[in-house]
C-alpha cells in the first residue's frame, strides 16, 4: 500500500532500507491508536541519516515498547511535507502525539536528551515507579 510515496510495513521492519517508510501501522491490536506519533525528517541516504535512524530505532525499541507509530520522510523526495512542518535542519524528529508537539534536531545519539526533548520518561524510571507503587 502506498501513502504519499511511502510504503506501510509492519512494526518489525528494518530502518536501514531505502526508500524511507512508515514502519508501523496506524492501528494496534484491538483497533486502538498507539501512544506516540513520531515523524523523522531526513536528507537522503547520508551517514548522518543512517546514524539518526539507527539511534531512533534503538530508543523506540528500548523506551517505547511498541507504543509508537513512526514515519521517516526524505525531505528531498517530499519537500512539501518538510515545508508544512517548517523543517529547517535534518535530521529532525517530531512527536505529534501525545501533545504537546515536540521537536528534536540532530543524530539522536544522546538517549537522555532525546527522551527529555520528547517528554518521555525513561523505561527504567517507569519500571521503578511501578514497583514502588505496589
Q: Which domains does the chain have, with CATH numbers?
A: 2-123 (3.40.30.10)
Residue 29 pLDDT? 40
pLDDT at 5 exceeding the cut of 60: no
Residue from 109, 128, 126, 129 nearest 117 by CA: 109
| pTM, two decimal places | 0.71
Residue located via cell numbers 524528529 = 93
d(C-alpha 130, C-alpha 26), whole Å: 28
Segment 16-37 mean pLDDT: 50
pLDDT at 51 exceeding the cut of 70: yes
**112-131 pLDDT tens trace:** 999 999 998 876 655 555 55
Residue 4 pLDDT? 33
Q: Which grid cell sits at 90?
A: 535534518
Residue from 51, 48, 42 nearest 21 by CA: 42
Higher pLDDT, 133 or 111: 111
* Residues near 96 by beta carbon (within 8 Å), at least 6 away in sequence: 37, 38, 39
CA 74 to chain centre: 13
Residue 17 pLDDT? 43
Q: What is the dihedral of CA 40, 74, 32, 12, to 10 degrees?
A: -90
Amino acid at each position: 500500500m502506498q501513502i504519499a510515496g511511502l510504503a506501510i510495513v509492519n512494526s518489525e521492519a528494518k530502518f536501514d532500507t531505502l526508500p524511507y517508510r512508515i514502519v508501523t501501522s496506524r492501528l494496534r491490536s484491538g483497533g486502538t491508536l498507539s501512544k506516540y506519533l513520531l515523524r523523522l525528517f531526513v536528507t537522503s541516504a547520508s551517514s548522518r541519516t543512517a546514524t539518526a535512524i539507527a539511534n531512533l530505532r534503538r530508543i523506540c525499541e528500548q523506551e517505547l515498547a511498541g507504543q509508537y507509530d513512526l514515519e521517516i520522510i526524505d525531505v528531498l523526495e517530499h519537500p512539501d511535507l518538510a515545508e508544512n512542518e517548517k523543517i529547517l535542519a535534518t535530521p529532525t524528529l517530531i512527536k505529534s502525539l501525545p501533545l504537546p508537539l515536540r521537536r528534536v534536531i540532530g543524530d539522536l545519539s544522546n538517549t537522555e536528551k532525546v527522551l527529555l526533548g520528547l517528554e518521555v520518561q525513561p523505561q527504567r524510571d517507569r519500571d521503578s515507579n511501578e514497583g514502588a507503587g505496589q
